[in-house]
Structure 1
Amino acid sequence: MKLSALKNAVAIDLGTDYTRIYYKGEVTNEPSVIAYDSLNGAVIAIGKEAADMEGKNPPLITVSRPITKGVITDFDLASQMIQGFLANIVGNVIKPRVFITVPCGITGVERRAICDILHESEITEIYIIESPIAGAIGANCDVNIARGMLLVDIGGGKCDIAAISLGQAVTGRSVKLGGNDFTDALTDYLLEKHNLSVGNFSAEKLKKSIGCAFMREHNDIDEISGFNTYLRKPEKIAVRSEEIREAFAPLVSKISAEIKSTLDEVPTELLGDIIDDGILLIGGGAQLYGLAKRLRQELGIKVFLAEDAEMCVIKGASYVAENMDKLPDNTYIFTKA
């Protein structure tokens, strides 16, 4: 997707785990983390530098993730984090045009909170685009045509499901379930089945190594270290991929059920398009091994994983930001805040 790199165009994908910012043809990917002095509240670090402190910080330094399940849960910290990102990446650009993505079905209060944060960064030209719309564009889908498509965006903290036609979400929902819930499920499983207490980083690493939603060709094995709560000592154990599939099964079934509920609300003519064309998965959480295959089995509809799935939303938002002047005047792809 070629961009024209207009000097004032900025796109932001504000996520639970990562904040991605597009500017001048480049995408910066930073953890949505901020570290601050516990006594006076002064910001110490943001992004990767702050994320590196997680779990290793002394009492006088607090490390926080101000976005939970796709929603801003600490306005002041989120504001300072985003202002810091923009200052580092965009600098003192005069009157930038900012496109920011939001979850499907976001409330008016949540929308205003996002806009207020950008206003505090002295940004006045703000445009809102729903994540599924941006993701579909980033996956090179033509969202403006009169044909239905179903897109499922699985991020770190949420899952957006939307049926799209003529540049709008005809129906959709945002479910508070994402990749982090799979990591938590693995942590709980290891504690329950193996009496092993493990850190989030170790569980995430194991998930990416041999995690799966559908049985792998080989029952892969990997090791993980933690603290055995029964023996009261450190321990390293071997874990099979089939065990992880078992731990993930309830979450996959929940995503499947939410997709079915969304399909129930889709108009009949659009439903026929979706059955013919299949369902598109995007987002980092969608890259779990075998997820598309498992959903295809449960839903009876073709399911595809988009190329570069975790970058589709920021790609789509940046494309719209750079080319908004070329879009039809009556487009529904975005709204001005």
Structure 2
Amino acid sequence: MPAECEKAGCHRMIFSSDIGIDLGTASVLVYVKGKGVVLNEPSVVAVDKQTGKILSVGESAQKMLGRTPGNIVAIRPMREGVISDYEMTERMIKEFIRKVMGFRLFKPNVVMCVPSIITEVEERAVIDAGTQAGAKRVFLVEEPLAAAIGAGIDIAQPNGNMIVDIGGGTTDIAVISLGGIVESTSIKIAGDKFDEAIIKFIRRKHNVLIGERTAEEIKMQIGCVYPRLEEVSMEIKGRCLMTGLPRTFTVTSTEVLEAFEEVTTSIVEAVHTVLERTPPELTGDISTNGIVMTGGGSLIWGFDKLIAAKTGIPTHVAEEAISCVAYGTGKCLDQLASMQDGTMNLSRRRQMMG
């Protein structure tokens, strides 16, 4: 939920230059008030190890992954939904803010997203990184709420809605009613785990090693979590572990379905767990309203069919699923002051839950 961080000295006033940031494990989306989503780039930073100088950020840095010389390293500073490299995250945010805002006399207020289950240390790291990167004040919003708002759900109504947001590092599942989260969970199983599953499967079955970018291409082009009506395949290249030489071979969607089985089972079980803890009245609402899926991971073929088959509840993927969280942060910029009046900050909610 939109949360004012009292410890960081956040205030409620919002200016026209305010921005919303979906700080994801795989990508960063930036929403500028009055302009919409103006940036969508990978969460990657390329750094010269000898000088510490940032060479590139975002899309250009991603192209360097696995292809850099010894003195250059391409870093993904976000892991499993939280900051793993504080300094690089701060510098990455600063570069993205500079890219979308240019030179401004006044620093922008920033709304940033965090997983629904986050420690105070992780929360503080996000706030500090945003502040050090040039934000005047940092506000936090829980990802499921931002995703629901971005998907067009009226969260203020006394009506149960379920969101399954599958990002790069975390899957956030929440039941929302009356502007707040009733039940939720956040698991560190999402897009990156699908990539890892493909790499492990191909290594085990074909005895070939492939990189992260190739695994992601397989996931996006022929990946599926539910049996396709017609099998599809693609030709990929990797390094044979027997000979050490390049090898070209074909991977099918049925193989990818098998590779994904363990990861998808974990996500489905998490959805079941949240439904089991949900009050029966809200469960009835969810049966009527259906489950809404957001995030890049939800675009893997058949995910909505899988959730619907396992839960018996109609499920659909939101329009512009990848951008829902960013649009949600943007709408929070307009509604933050009024929404905060009826909500409590993350720390207080965590104390009540614990």
Tell me the TM-score normalized by structure 1.
Answer: 0.93
Which amino acid is 2:40 matched to?
A: N
Deviation at 1:222, TM superposition (A): 1.4
- Is 1:44 the counterpart of 2:55? The answer is yes
For 1:58, the equivalent position in structure 2 comes to 69
Query: Quick one: which of 219, 222, 225 aligns to 2:237?
Result: 225
Partner residue of 2:275 out of 242, 258, 263: 263
CA distance in structure 2 between the aligned counterparts of 1:278 and 1:8, rounded to whole angstroms: 36
Instruction: Please give the alpha-carbon distance, in whole angstroms, between the structure 2 residues aligned to 1:330 and 1:314.
Output: 22
Q: By how many angstroms is 1:231 displaced?
A: 4.4
Shift of 1:183: 1.2
SS where residue 67 of structure 2 aligns?
coil
Among 299, 302, 324, which residue is 1:312 paired with?
324
Q: Hey, what's the Cα distance between the residues in 1 that align with 2:339 and 2:100? A: 30
Gaps of 5+ in 1: none
CA contact (8 A) 1:79 1:120 kept: yes
- Contact persistence 1:10–1:98 (CA under 8 A): yes
Q: How far did 1:329 drift?
A: 6.2
Tell whether the 8 Å contact from 1:127 to 1:336 is kept in structure 2 after alignment.
no
TM (norm. structure 2) is 0.89
Distance 1:47 1:122 in 2: 18
Return the match for 2:99 from 74, 88, 108. 88
For residues 185 and 339 of structure 2, the distance between their equivalents in structure 1, rounded to whole angstroms, comes to 27
Q: 1:35 aligns with which of 40, 46, 64?
A: 46
Give 1:10 deviation, angstroms. 0.6
Partner of 1:7, secondary structure, is: coil
Q: Does 1:25 align with 2:20?
A: no
Q: Does 1:238 align with 2:250?
A: yes
Give 1:279 shift: 1.1
* Cα 1:331–1:221 shift into 2, 3 Å: same
Match of 2:304 among 292, 295, 308: 292
SS, match of residue 333 in structure 2: helix
Q: Distance in 2 between matches of 1:295 and 1:329?
A: 33
Query: What's the RMSD between the two structures over aligned residues?
Result: 2.0
1:170 corresponds, among 174, 182, 195, to 182
Deviations 1:249-280 (A, max 9, x none): 11111101011111122122212211222211
Which stretch has the larger CA shift, 85-94 or 62-71?
Answer: 85-94
- What is the Cα deviation at residue 322 of structure 1? 3.1
- Shift of the 336–188 alpha-carbon distance from structure 1 to 2, 3 Å rule, reads closer
**Any idea what SS the aligned residue of 1:274 has?**
helix
CA apart distance, 1:330? 2.8
The equivalent residue for 2:20 is: 11
Note the residue ranges of structure 2 that are not aligned, 5 or more in a row: 1-13, 349-354
Aligned residue identity for 2:44: V
Per the alignment, in what secondary structure is the counterpart of residue 132 of structure 1?
Answer: helix
User: What is aligned with 2:80?
Assistant: 69
- Residues in 2 aligned to 1:234 and 1:92: alpha-carbon distance in whole angstroms: 47
CA shift, 1:163, in A, is 0.9
Contact 2:164–2:173, Cα closer than 8 Å, also in 1: yes
Counterpart-to-counterpart distance in 1, 2:133 and 2:254: 48
> Aligned letter for 2:247?
E
Q: How does 1:112-151 map to 2 (within 5 A)?
A: 112-151=124-163
Q: In the aligned structure 2, how far is the partner of 1:45 from the partner of 1:29?
A: 15
Letter in 1 for 2:154: D
Please state whether the residue corresponding to 2:46 is helix, strand or coil.
strand
